[in-house]
Structure 1
């Protein structure tokens, strides 16, 4: 995989099996985000093959069965969206440009899964950074995915939000969801992670049991917050657009009776 003339990923051979919880670890610049963005079709691979849910990457992938949580998105100008509107945008993918029948119930269910049902009508810019990240997780969960891919979901969020996220993931993993999550450290997710893949300079240098944390990082009072994490706010549903691809969505939250809900 290349970005411009520079190779970012080299010889990565990775298989995530159904029901596995795999953590992708590595220092900043190791290629973690590039790898997951390639896996979900946001970036095109420059070489090699990618298969998702048994299908070659492309239009043949059943994208409605895949949930993706990007790194914290940046703010943008405009009228702020509510948490409900942002989560609803997760139901739009591929050729689907209108919300399915029954979307409000699906959105409430997803927000309840992340403990934010009571914030459904709150503008997202009024939520804390951790709550905004949980809204993005709900946006992925509203699809009721079989596979969940998360890119540094707890970077820069406070401990209560980390704990709430870990509780949500515990329930999802208990239901058999397949998870690939990019992390700097295992933190609150350590009990769930079955396997760790460590990248260094774009290459896999470890694939197996979780490595031991560095001294001090396993302490209960250690905050897993890193210098690159930022606190920009999510304001509009459009702010979660990920460039052309299966996870770009346009929102028309006022249409409650459009397509049949079963067409995912």
Structure 2
């Protein structure tokens, strides 16, 4: 395994926190989804965002990275309000799904390299193959870089998406249910990758159904219910049986990535386009 040349610890700002949200409300049509959410994630923190289906978790992270506009309230990343002033190159985002034009075959290397396209950058920079190789090494998939993504397992596809976020060498990594629908070996490989990133000082905000393999890394849990924060503090203890080695942390609410169409793994335009996420919007009752 290699370490990226510039570590997040060397480059992150000592000033403003990577994530600040103040009284954020989001409505989808006439339905309220987020109702006055406050959230602050400090540099180097690992924060898990928990809650039942429909609690607003995915809507919150999509709002934080600018995919969805807040109805009211304010979001700041690295001290700057959402918009062109945000240093998007310092942010890595892994949505539940990534979509592209159907029928466009992409190798793992090509998908990872697409993470270098953001803002007005429409062409890959020099040395993009080396950057993609480094990112794939971090998720133990360098040997599959020329493999078409539709030929990879669900767990391997997920690791490719994580490498796509890591190729930016981000200071802030935002992940939306990264282990949903993947097998235990892939969960363990993902946890090992995350441990290395956290050791390098990467700030992590991750949506989880349950802590699972990431429990040792999570420093703080924020729990949403009906679009409101109902807990912000120590991570909850696992339910009986969920901490046992034989328990599979795979839940029926998310289809395994290996069952999704090949279009879900293609190239995406811009930093975090609205079309990247095809998950169902959560509506709080």
Report the TM-score when normalising by structure 2: 0.83
Q: RMSD of the TM alignment (CA)?
A: 1.7
The secondary structure found in structure 2 opposite 1:145 is coil
Number of the residue aligned with 1:235 = 262
Question: Aligned partners of 2:235 and 2:121: how far apart in 1?
Answer: 39
Cα distance, 1:100 vs structure 2: 0.4
Determine which of 213, 217, 222 is the counterpart of 1:188.
213
Q: Is the 8 A contact 2:100 2:268 kept in 1?
A: no
The secondary structure found in structure 1 opposite 2:209 is coil
Determine which of 138, 143, 149 is the counterpart of 2:174.
149
Question: Aligned partners of 2:62 and 2:42: how far apart in 1?
Answer: 19
Alignment of 1:148-167 (within 5 A): 148-167=173-192
Number of the residue aligned with 2:55 = 30
Number of the residue aligned with 2:280 = none
**CA deviation digits over 1:204-258, x for unaligned, max 9?**
010000011111111111111111211334635874538xx63249xxxxxxxxx
**Gap runs ≥5 in structure 1:** 250-264
Cα distance, 1:79 vs structure 2: 3.3
Determine which of 20, 26, 31 is the counterpart of 1:6.
31
Number of the residue aligned with 2:97 = 72
**Gap runs ≥5 in structure 2:** 1-25, 275-285
Alignment of 1:1-264 (within 5 A): 1-73=26-98, 77-231=102-256, 232-233=259-260, 235=262, 239=266, 241=268, 246-248=271-273
> Number of residue pairs matched?
247
Question: Aligned partners of 2:243 and 2:169: how far apart in 1?
Answer: 32
Q: Is the 8 A contact 1:71 1:152 kept in 2?
A: yes
The secondary structure found in structure 2 opposite 1:204 is strand
Report the TM-score when normalising by structure 1: 0.90
Write 1 or 2 for the structure with the bigger share of strand: 2
Number of the residue aligned with 1:252 = none
